[in-house]
Structures are given as C-alpha cells and as structure tokens.
Amino acid sequence: MRRAVIALLLAPMLSLAQARPARAAEPEGRYQAPVAYGVRLGGLLAYGAPAGSATAVGGGAYALFDQRSLLADVSADAWGGDKAFRLAGGLGVYWAALPQANHSVYLGGGARLAYTKNGGEGAFGLSLHGAVGLLASRHWSPHVRLELAWFVDTMGEREKGNGPRHYANGPMATLGLGF
C-alpha cells in the first residue's frame, strides 16, 4: 500500500522534471562573472629618457572585464630600476580576436596617469600605450595573461639642472595571473 501511495505522489513530479541541457549548450562563462582580478610582473625599457635608456622591473594589479569580444581593464603598476622609477594607474580597452574561444589573442590600448623619473627631475602626466596580448584559459580561474605593450609619455621630463625635456617611450612586457 505504501508503495502505491509513493508512486502516485512521485508520478506528477516526474512529469514536471525537465532534462538538463547538454554541456555544449551551456554558456561558457567564467563562473558567470565577467570580471577577474589579477597580478602581473614584467619589465620595461624607456628610450629617450634623460638618462639615455633606462630599464625597470615591476608589476601591479588589474581588474579585467571580459565581455567576449571586448576586454577592458583597470590597472595600477609600480616599476623600479637603476635609473628608472614609474608609478602608473589607468584604463585599457582591447578587442579579442577569438571572442568565444577559451584562449584568445587581443589588440588594443589605453591611457594611464603616471609619475616617471628616468634620470631627470621627474614628470607627472598622461602615458599612452598600445598592446598585443594573449589571454589563456579565460573561461576558467585562474587565467594567464601575456602582454607586450609600447608606451609613449606625453609629459616631458627635464634633465637635472633645468635642461631640455625628454619624452620617454618604449616596450613593456608583462605576465599576469588572474582569478
């Protein structure tokens, strides 16, 4: 008798149950959150600096907003070396070449407010950059971000003793890990 009552109660519930979609039909999202926070390390070479060319190593932190074909980041970085020092924070926007893929090459650029001191008196202003990169394992946590950028400072740094202004530019290479 008990089995018959249980069967009568379960039958309507089973008719309401729906099959779960196949794994391929599910959206490929990083735990349904389009933002990842990460850290990065790297190096830079500044040409056109008052000290000639200056090298620095450093890194920073970033928040990467992933909207499939469009990536945007907010970052803060600190770099230091023998003749170079740089603090920067800013925004970047990038186009992902393979928007649905788990690994994608991206291309873009951005602007940062920066304080630089490359062997001169130091300068504060806007630093622009163009970048190409690879975002690997973007649908999972952690992801790996490899980036090569070229920065151009729009602020001129004077040589010590009120000399001419120098506008530094050069490559930056970083390797990041985001969660």
- The model's pLDDT over 22-57, given as tens digits with 9 standing for 90+, comes to 344 445 544 455 899 999 999 999 999 988 889 999
**Cα 142–146–151 angle (5° rounding)?**
135
Torsion of the alpha carbons at 100, 104, 109 and 111, rounded to the nearest 10:
80
Q: Mean pLDDT across the stretch 140-169? A: 93
Rounded CA-CA distance 98/114 in Å is 31
- Sketch the domain layout of the chain as residue ranges: 35-178
Rounded CA-CA distance 146/82 in Å is 25
Model-level pTM? 0.80
- The model's pLDDT over 137-153, given as tens digits with 9 standing for 90+, comes to 988 889 999 999 999 99
Rounded CA-CA distance 54/179 in Å is 32
Q: Which of 77, 155, 76, 170 is nearest to 117 (CA)?
A: 155
Q: Is domain 35-178 in CATH 2.30.38.10, yes or no?
A: no
Backbone angles phi, psi at 14, to 5 degrees: -65, -30
Rounded CA-CA distance 99/84 in Å is 37
